[in-house]
């Protein structure tokens, strides 16, 4: 079963700030979250523990990282944040 993907306001703002090529790459990769769990489907996904909470990350190419949570009950993926990959590593230490 596929999951519906929602972006936070911050994620939407980040996408809007990108050039068209990068924006299209991000959008195409975020579609992979319709099957959000690591090891299922496609995409470089990983489960993490951030501040004691279970969060997942999706690498988008070698440039960006999307952090998301999965609402299994409602079959929803909520993208919390999209960051340049270096900023994500610095902020979250992974």
Rounded distance between C-alpha atoms, residue 37 and residue 19, angstroms: 28
Mean pLDDT across 68-86: 96
Burial class of residue 44 in the structure, from the number of CB atoms within 10 Å of its CB (0-12 exposed, 13-18 middle, 19+ buried): middle
**CB-count burial class (<10 Å; 0-12, 13-18, 19+) for 25:** middle
Give the pLDDT score at 94: 67
Domain 4-92: CATH class, spelled out: alpha beta
Give the mean pLDDT of 33-40. Answer: 89
How does residue 41 score in pLDDT terms, banded at 50, 70 and 90? low
Coil/strand/helix, residue 17: helix
Q: Residue 55: phi, psi to the nearest 5?
A: -130, 150
pTM over 0.85: yes
Q: pLDDT at position 92, please?
A: 80
Assess contact for 72 and 26: CB atoms under 8 A. Answer: no
């Amino acid at each position: 079963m596929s999951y519906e993907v929602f972006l936070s306001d911050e994620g939407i703002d980040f996408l809007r700030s990108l050039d068209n090529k990068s924006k299209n790459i991000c959008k195409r990769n975020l579609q992979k979250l319709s099957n959000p769990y690591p090891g299922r489907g496609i995409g470089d996904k990983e489960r993490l523990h951030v501040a004691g909470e279970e969060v997942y990350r999706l690498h988008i190419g070698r440039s960006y990282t999307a952090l998301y949570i999965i609402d299994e009950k409602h079959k929803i993926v909520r993208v919390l944040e999209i960051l340049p990959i270096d900023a994500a590593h610095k902020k979250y230490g992974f």
